[in-house]
Amino acid sequence: MLKDYFFLAFGNLRHRGLRSWLTILGIFIGIAAVVSLISLGQGLQGFIDDQFQQVGGDKILISPKVFAAPGSVTEQELILNKNDLEVVKKVNGVEDAEGALTRTGIVVNDKEQEIVMISGVNEKYLEIFGNIDSLQPIEGRQIKDTDKSKVVVGYNHVFGSLWDKKLRLGSKIEIKGKEFEIVGVLKKQGNSGDDNSVWMEKETFQGLFNTGNDEGTIVAKTEKGFNPDEVAADIEKALRKEKDQKEGQETFFVQSFSQLLETFTNIFAVVQAVFVGIAGISLIVGGIGIMNTMYTSVLERTREIGIMKAVGAKNQDIFLIFLIESGLLGLVGGAIGILLGVGIGKSVEYIATAQLGTTYLQAVFGLPLILGALFFSFIVGAASGVLPAMQAAKLKPADALRYE
Cα–Cα distance, 324 to 345 (Å, whole number): 30
Q: Please give the pLDDT value at position 68.
A: 41
- Domain final position from 220, 250, 280: 250
Which residues are CB-neighbours of 343 under 8 A, at least 6 positions away? Answer: none
3-state DSSP call for residue 38?
A: helix
pTM of the predicted model as reported, rounded to 2 decimal places:
0.65
Looking at the structure, do residues 148 and 209 belong to the same domain, yes or no?
A: yes
Q: Which of the given ranges, 28-32, 225-229, 385-389, has the highest pLDDT on average? A: 225-229
Does residue 323 carry a pLDDT above 90?
no
Looking at the structure, do residues 232 and 376 belong to the same domain, yes or no?
A: no
Looking at the structure, do residues 367 and 300 belong to the same domain, yes or no?
A: yes
Confidence band, pLDDT 50/70/90 cuts, at residue 141: very high
3-state DSSP call for residue 132?
A: coil
Q: Is residue 257 part of a domain?
A: no
Does residue 357 carry a pLDDT above 70?
no
Higher-scoring residue by pLDDT: 71, 250: 250
Q: Is residue 27 part of a domain?
A: yes
Least confident stretch, 32-41, 226-235, 298-307: 298-307
Q: What does the longest C-alpha to C-alpha distance in the chain come to?
A: 98
Q: Which domain holds residue 169?
A: 66-250
Beta pairing partners, 94 = 222
Count of structural domains, the chain:
2
Does residue 41 carry a pLDDT above 90?
no
CA distances from 118 to 14, 197, 220 (A): 65, 6, 22
Q: Is residue 357 part of a domain?
A: yes
Looking at the structure, do residues 99 and 238 belong to the same domain, yes or no?
A: yes
Residue 183: its H or E element = strand 178-186
